[in-house]
A and B are shown apart, each in its own frame.
Chain A
């Protein structure tokens, strides 16, 4: 059995190796042009802004969201620097307003007035979660990946209810402050697709 210090050392080595691999990967022109902080994962106290549509870039207010969906695609925004964190697609989230009574015990504490947020990146092959519709096997509407038909129940920690996805979507805790929707903590769970092999 290894001691705590062994574990720490191993973590450092693994992290260093992983960083080396990451650093050798080519960076896109877009990433180089993005302002500092734009590829940081969502941070506590970040605001959320619309990722698409006529209101793209505007701050999302709780009252803007229609109860029962459909979900809205959003980017985190640093309230101090006004940087929208869209430098990495792994930062995009989907937000949907649900009946708080429908949320399970894990989901409710992470919600704000029934509003829940999840990573928009499917855990199967990394496609964006863009659709909202009746579950293939059930009556309620669920989050859907249109690439390979995986479905996630936003009332129950976005657990997989259909399709090839191996695990739930990462959850993003929310709160409300001064009439705005804010992020209450970092992602819970792993963001992004499985890597096979």
Chain B
């Protein structure tokens, strides 16, 4: 073989190695995604983060149900080839599935057979520092996909081929700015919010033109001088006050309002940033055309616990106290289950109650919905303060779900965890962690006498009563919940690598399957050619792993840190 002959095949191999897409075949007959299809998705598809704009995580499919789920079995699996937390829902559009993984991969698969169409690999910079190496999915519009990356870009791909159509830098990853969320697409606008609450950023939500990648508007979650709410900050604290917005928002098409959750104040100890600190730990109501803040509700003031409230509230038409109203429902990281009323220009407090043990709140002011804090459990500079629940809260970012059948809310809660740290003043160095405590000082302690940790809860938002719960004696619960019209509550999230289906009305465990790794991903239900499937990614990492490490090394409760990593897509169906 001469040099020329040798070089050609090697060049081809190298091109495949270094280019960002290796095609196994373009997708034919791809169904363009329109505004109407996103507003009223076909029952067999899952095209938004929680399937529908209301964020309920409810599938109307019922072919797989409480009577036949015992016969549910894997039909195909697919290894993603990467480690760390696989948190994305498999997105499905008329038989085509899009998977995203840590390290910025997008994989297009035949949703029926598991055959690969193409794979995109983001070429991340060598000096990137990934505190949260994960991704939560691609947004869809027409024949394009939108990926938000940990090196702080939004990338548009051709859905049929995986080719890059545009690539827009959002901010500078070297300053601790990054993205992990699935973009929300509303009428041709691709909306994302930045991560970086542990790096002293000033959070924002930003919209890009879906066709060109041009920035249309950017709304900071911390108001600048002269803007309403700026008075809730002292001095220059607002410039580095956190308020990251790292989860996908929900959307009310009737009022054209996007509801977006906002994260913790920075640094953590509250006395380093005195004031209410708007709009940290809040939900913002935004106009998708302009980014204008229509109104807001703050779940707690002067955040001191790293209790991001980034998980957007669910939009539910609720019957309660003898009336029907348009509600926002949010089981908070701050341990309070919130029922709010959404109006075009105002969000009113309706009810709130603790859904796990907390020693931080003494009550809620009934007129305003402001929680009343016990100062003994509020972290400050210079002394160690303990608080319950832990900094991962009663429910962290993994999503709850609402069933239109049972009218119950299903919450992946964590009970009996407390935390603590010693606040300290440290200078902000852009791009470096800025917590207001030593990271190694952060504790996770199990309450004495605890019988369990993870708790899958079913709440009736109309009455505030817990209808059932399923307890996990040896594991936390760190995975999103999905519910179907077949009355199945689907969830992974435990350290025994199980994927489970529960009876939505009773909480009875109906089915379980041990998988390759722990499941942090969101389960979905979809249908192709008349067959219903259930899909989920199994791949443990990030905070599921962090809590596991803390249970194993700081608490003598017989838990080991031996959950294996490595991502696999699992797809199930009922044997016919």
| A contact set with B: CB distance below 8 Å | 2, 5-6, 9-10, 13-14, 17-18, 21, 25-26, 28, 30, 52, 88-90, 121, 125-128, 130-131, 133, 136, 144, 146-149, 162-164, 192-193, 195-197
Among A30, A136, A148, point to the contact of B545 (Cβ < 8 A): A148
Knowing A17-B18, A128-B432, the reply to whether A88 touches B131 (Cβ < 8 A) is: no
Knowing A136-B549, A146-B439, A197-B101, the reply to whether A17 touches B14 (Cβ < 8 A) is: yes
Are B83 and A136 in contact, CB atoms less than 8 angstroms apart? no
List 28 contacting pairs A-B, 8 Å CB cutoff, sorted by A: A9-B3, A13-B10, A13-B14, A17-B18, A30-B174, A89-B127, A89-B174, A89-B431, A125-B84, A126-B128, A130-B433, A131-B439, A136-B553, A144-B440, A147-B130, A147-B439, A162-B561, A164-B565, A192-B127, A193-B126, A193-B130, A195-B103, A196-B82, A196-B103, A196-B105, A197-B101, A197-B103, A197-B105
Are B84 and A196 in contact, CB atoms less than 8 angstroms apart? yes
Closest to B128 in A: A126
| B450 interface hit (Cβ, 8 Å) | no
Knowing A10-B10, A163-B549, A197-B103, the reply to whether A192 touches B126 (Cβ < 8 A) is: yes
Digitize B37-71: 1 where CB-to-A-CB distance is under 8 Å, 0 elsewhere: 00000000000000000000000000000000000
B interface: dominant SS: loop
Knowing A6-B6, A196-B82, A197-B103, the reply to whether A28 touches B130 (Cβ < 8 A) is: no
Name the residue among B104, B129, B561 with the largest chain A CB count within 10 angstroms.
B129
> Which residues of B lie under 8 Å from residue A88 when comparing CB positions?
127
| B124 interface hit (Cβ, 8 Å) | yes
> Which residues of B lie under 8 Å from residue A89 when comparing CB positions?
127, 129, 174, 431
Among B129, B169, B549, point to the contact of A125 (Cβ < 8 A): B129
Within 8 A of A (CB), among B127-172: 127-131, 133, 169, 172
| B contact set with A: CB distance below 8 Å | 3, 6-7, 10-11, 14-15, 18, 80-84, 101-105, 121, 123-131, 133, 169, 172, 174, 429, 431-433, 438-440, 541-542, 545-546, 549, 552-553, 561, 565
Closest to B104 in A: A197
Among A21, A52, A149, point to the contact of B123 (Cβ < 8 A): A21
Closest to A144 in B: B440
Q: Please, how many angstroms separate the alpha-carbon atoms of A149 and B552 in the complex?
A: 12
Closest to B173 in A: A28
Are A6 and B440 in contact, CB atoms less than 8 angstroms apart? no
> Which residues of A lie under 8 Å from residue B123 when comparing CB positions?
21, 25
Among A6, A90, A125, point to the contact of B127 (Cβ < 8 A): A90
> Which residues of B lie under 8 Å from residue A147 when comparing CB positions?
130-131, 439
Knowing A133-B440, A148-B545, the reply to whether A13 touches B7 (Cβ < 8 A) is: yes
Q: Please, how many angstroms separate the alpha-carbon atoms of A152 and B311 in the complex?
A: 35
Are A127 and B131 in contact, CB atoms less than 8 angstroms apart? yes
Minimum CB–CB distance from A96 to chain B (whole Å) comes to: 16
Minimum CB–CB distance from B432 to chain A (whole Å) comes to: 7
Report how many A-B pairs have Cβ atoms within 8 Å: 103
Excluding A13-B11, A128-B129, 11 further A-B contacts by CB distance (< 8 Å) are A21-B18, A25-B125, A52-B429, A90-B127, A125-B130, A125-B131, A136-B552, A195-B124, A196-B103, A197-B104, A197-B105
> Which residues of A lie under 8 Å from residue B11 when comparing CB positions?
13
> Which residues of B lie under 8 Å from residue A5 when comparing CB positions?
3
List the 4 closest pairs (A to B, CB-CB), nearest first: A196-B82, A146-B439, A196-B103, A125-B130
Q: Please, how many angstroms separate the alpha-carbon atoms of A130 and B83 in the complex?
A: 23
Are A125 and B133 in contact, CB atoms less than 8 angstroms apart? yes
Are A28 and B172 in contact, CB atoms less than 8 angstroms apart? yes
Are B440 and A148 in contact, CB atoms less than 8 angstroms apart? no
Minimum CB–CB distance from B130 to chain A (whole Å) comes to: 4
Minimum CB–CB distance from B549 to chain A (whole Å) comes to: 5
Q: Please, how many angstroms separate the alpha-carbon atoms of A146 and B438 in the complex?
A: 9
Q: Please, how many angstroms separate the alpha-carbon atoms of A147 and B129 in the complex?
A: 10
Closest to A25 in B: B125
Closest to A146 in B: B439
Q: Please, how many angstroms separate the alpha-carbon atoms of A21 and B552 in the complex?
A: 42
Closest to A18 in B: B18
Are A126 and B18 in contact, CB atoms less than 8 angstroms apart? no
Minimum CB–CB distance from A107 to chain B (whole Å) comes to: 24
Are B103 and A6 in contact, CB atoms less than 8 angstroms apart? no
Minimum CB–CB distance from A163 to chain B (whole Å) comes to: 7
Are A14 and B440 in contact, CB atoms less than 8 angstroms apart? no
Q: Please, how many angstroms separate the alpha-carbon atoms of A149 and B563 in the complex?
A: 14
Are A148 and B546 in contact, CB atoms less than 8 angstroms apart? yes
Among B15, B129, B552, point to the contact of A126 (Cβ < 8 A): B129
Q: Please, how many angstroms separate the alpha-carbon atoms of A197 and B424 in the complex?
A: 39
> Which residues of A lie under 8 Å from residue B433 when comparing CB positions?
128, 130, 146
Among B83, B84, B104, B174, point to the contact of A28 (Cβ < 8 A): B174
Q: Please, how many angstroms separate the alpha-carbon atoms of A17 and B439 in the complex?
A: 39
> Which residues of B lie under 8 Å from residue A196 when comparing CB positions?
81-84, 101-103, 105
Are B81 and A197 in contact, CB atoms less than 8 angstroms apart? yes
Are B440 and A146 in contact, CB atoms less than 8 angstroms apart? yes
Are B546 and A149 in contact, CB atoms less than 8 angstroms apart? yes
Minimum CB–CB distance from A191 to chain B (whole Å) comes to: 8
> Which residues of B lie under 8 Å from residue A6 when comparing CB positions?
3, 6
Minimum CB–CB distance from A133 to chain B (whole Å) comes to: 6
> Which residues of B lie under 8 Å from residue A133 when comparing CB positions?
440
> Which residues of A lie under 8 Å from residue B15 when comparing CB positions?
17
> Which residues of B lie under 8 Å from residue A163 when comparing CB positions?
549
> Which residues of B lie under 8 Å from residue A126 when comparing CB positions?
127-130
Minimum CB–CB distance from B175 to chain A (whole Å) comes to: 9
> Which residues of B lie under 8 Å from residue A149 when comparing CB positions?
545-546, 549
Minimum CB–CB distance from B57 to chain A (whole Å) comes to: 28
Q: Please, how many angstroms separate the alpha-carbon atoms of A23 and B129 in the complex?
A: 20
Minimum CB–CB distance from B576 to chain A (whole Å) comes to: 36
Closest to B11 in A: A13
Q: Please, how many angstroms separate the alpha-carbon atoms of A125 and B178 in the complex?
A: 14
Minimum CB–CB distance from B221 to chain A (whole Å) comes to: 24
> Which residues of A lie under 8 Å from residue B545 when comparing CB positions?
148-149, 164
Closest to A196 in B: B82
> Which residues of A lie under 8 Å from residue B431 when comparing CB positions?
89
Name the residue among A9, A30, A131, A164 with the largest chain B CB count within 10 angstroms.
A164
Among A2, A25, A26, A136, point to the contact of B6 (Cβ < 8 A): A2
Closest to B541 in A: A164
Q: Please, how many angstroms separate the alpha-carbon atoms of A154 and B552 in the complex?
A: 23
Name the residue among A5, A144, A195 with the largest chain B CB count within 10 angstroms.
A195
> Which residues of B lie under 8 Å from residue A131 when comparing CB positions?
438-440
> Which residues of A lie under 8 Å from residue B82 when comparing CB positions?
196-197
> Which residues of A lie under 8 Å from residue B80 when comparing CB positions?
197
Are A130 and B84 in contact, CB atoms less than 8 angstroms apart? no
Closest to A20 in B: B18
Q: Please, how many angstroms separate the alpha-carbon atoms of A90 and B126 in the complex?
A: 8
> Which residues of A lie under 8 Å from residue B432 when comparing CB positions?
128
Minimum CB–CB distance from B541 to chain A (whole Å) comes to: 7
Closest to B552 in A: A136
